[in-house]
Amino acid sequence: MTGRAAVSEASGEALLEARDLVKDYGDFRALDGVSLSIDEGEFVSIIGPNGAGKSTLVNLLTGVLQPTAGAVRFKGRDIHGIGPVALARRGMARSFQLVHVFPDLTVQETLEAAVVSRLGRGARLFAALAADREVKDGALEIAELFRLGDKRQALSRQLPQGDKKLLDVASAFALRPEIILLDEPTSGVSTADKAAIMEILVGASRRIGLRAIIQVEHDMDIVFGYSDRIVALHQGKVLADATPSRLRADQDVVDTVIGRRRGNP
């Protein structure tokens, strides 16, 4: 993403756009008028303390939840509440905060499932999967991009945590989406592994032609190190939406987000 020329859409419309999103859970207003737009070629990080509404925003952006008010548009089309399956078909993929793998499937099978889905072959009842070269090669390619090549026969439930995270992200990449939303891609992972995962991510996104990445992240080093733009949420509202350098200069935001207010060290 960084180092790639930003090419705006011909119509000027953003790739993914949220307009005045409001989400209420009963009396509790989780999001209060959040707007943001993601353009071609951007790597955007969403940050904010717990309870700021990040998960809600993520679920709204990925069509899992219906907004109480406002709209979410992906490639110019409304996507609110269309559900993850339809969204994946339209070109948006996501990974999860709590690692989601298929416990009893191998790495290879997990990636093959994603490729099968991408190629629309999920309804083939009598074709032999083992004979499908395209699926096998597609899975192999992603496995190698994510340095899981030699672990392809490993059972997902037996993988170390870091590899599970990688597999979760890798399978989302295997869909060759146009835009991907990563929910805390480095959480629960040791610091040494974090940098490795980010490097893999950036490399893989170049290879598969990803048009934009959105991530929710807590680790500020990662956020400031990789993002083109940072969106800071606070209590359901957008506190700031700027490049890393501009944001660093805004002490208020830094304080709120990193929680230095009220005398916290």
Partner 1 sequence: MTGARVLAVAALALLAAPPVLPTYYTLLLLPFMAYAVVLLGLNLLFAYAGLLSFGHALFIGLGAYTGAFLTTHTPVRALEVILLAAAVAGAAVAALVGALCVRYVKIYFGMLTLAFGMVFYTFLLKFYRLTGGDEGMRVLRPTLLGMDIGAMPKTDYLAGPYYYYSLAVLALATVVMWRVVRSPFGLCLRTVRDNPAKAEALGIGVTRNRWIAFVISGVYAAVGGALLGPPIGNVDPTLAYWTQSGNIVFMTLLGGFSHFFGPVVGAFAFIFLQDTVMSVVPYWRLIFGAILAAIVIFAPGGLMGLAARVRPIEASRS
Which residues of this chain interact with partner 1, rule CB under 8 A? 83-85, 88-89, 93-96, 100-106, 109-110, 112-114, 116-118, 121-130, 132, 135, 155, 157, 168, 171-172, 174-175
Nearest approach, Cβ of residue 207 and partner 1 (Å):
19
Sign of the alpha-carbon dihedral angle for 209, 40, 189, 94? negative
User: Between 98 and 192, whose beta carbon lies closer to partner 1?
Assistant: 98
Residue 74: CB minimum distance to partner 1, A? 14
Given a contact cutoff of 8 angstroms between Cβ atoms, the answer to whether 38 and 14 are in contact is yes
The strands making up 92-95's β-sheet, listed across from edge to edge, are 92-95, 179-183, 212-216, 43-47, 229-234, 237-242
Q: Toward partner 1, which CB reaches closer, 81 or 244?
A: 81
Question: How many CB atoms sit inside 10 A of residue 262's CB?
Answer: 6
By C-beta, is 176 or 229 nearer to partner 1?
Answer: 176
- 35 or 117, CB closer to partner 1? 117
Nearer to partner 1, 93 or 166 (CB): 93
Whole-number minimum distance, CB 131 to partner 1, in Å? 9
Question: Strand order in 28-38's β-sheet?
Answer: 28-38, 16-25, 69-74, 77-78
CA distances from residue 177 to 180, 235, 237 in whole angstroms, order as listed: 7, 31, 28
CA dihedral 245, 247, 251, 255 (to 10 degrees): -120
In the complex, least distance from residue 183 CB atom to partner 1, rounded to whole angstroms:
10
Q: How far is the CB of 72 from partner 1 (least distance, A)?
A: 17
